[in-house]
Structure 1
Amino acid sequence: MRLNHLDLHSPVVTETATFFIEHLGFTLVETRGKDAFYRLADDAGMVLVISPPIAKLGGGDQVSLGLQTYHIGFLLPERLAVEDAYRRILPSGIRITEPEERHGAYVFYMVIPGNILVEIGQRPDA
């Protein structure tokens, strides 16, 4: 079995997709409807879908539901790349922590549009 895609629900689909494109290097592959569905991809072939919350399942997002440990994480090859990403993203005005040593990695966390928790880090063994 192979993971096909990851679908993140966001109440602000376009803003969330735009953040992934402008700050995290994803490419737009497809849109459907107005602010309804974005399919993105990265240079390693990861498929990321951004879509609205499913109302009949309760809607919401992981941060507002109190699931602060639920997040998506990206690895960079070296510590300097983490610091560069932090400096590049910081002016966007989102909530963001400073890079720090945590759980055997050098990481920072941010809450991007759509209230999605994202980790960017580097692990010595990765």
Structure 2
Amino acid sequence: MVEQTNQNLPESVVQNLPVVANQTWQQATQNFPQQVKQTVIQNRVPIAVGVGAIVLTPILLPLLKPVAKATIKTGVSFLEKTKGALAETVEVFGDIVAEAKAEVAAEAQHKSNLKAGVYSQQELNANKSATP
């Protein structure tokens, strides 16, 4: 049975396996259907990566925590600076809009006063000389 199990494995894997692991493999796969055995053999790299990730995560997480924390702190700082710059930009645009509205209202008032004849001839002459 060991020889049959070893025939399904690549030669490089069989040579590198210790005898205990080889026997464990045989015992673990003894009751598996042939299709499951072939699936495990064909997908041994993704399975190994998955198992490695599960094993290494508790080890690497404490090491990567300061890096993740620094990255998050930088992101939060950038967010706060962006919020401040955006608020300032909104305020500037608000001021520009308010000035434009005031100018439009003043011009409309000026036109309505002209139509109503509120201004004297002297004020009209003063306004004409003041405008370029």
TM-score interval, smaller chain: under 0.3
- Determine which structure has greater relative contact order: mean sequence separation of CA pairs < 8 Å that are 6+ residues apart, divided by chain length: 1
Pick the structure with more strand per residue. 1
| Structure of higher CA gyration radius | 2
Tell me the TM-score normalized by structure 1.
0.21
User: Please, what TM-score do these two structures have when normalized by structure 2?
Assistant: 0.20
Give the helix-richer structure, 1 or 2. Answer: 2
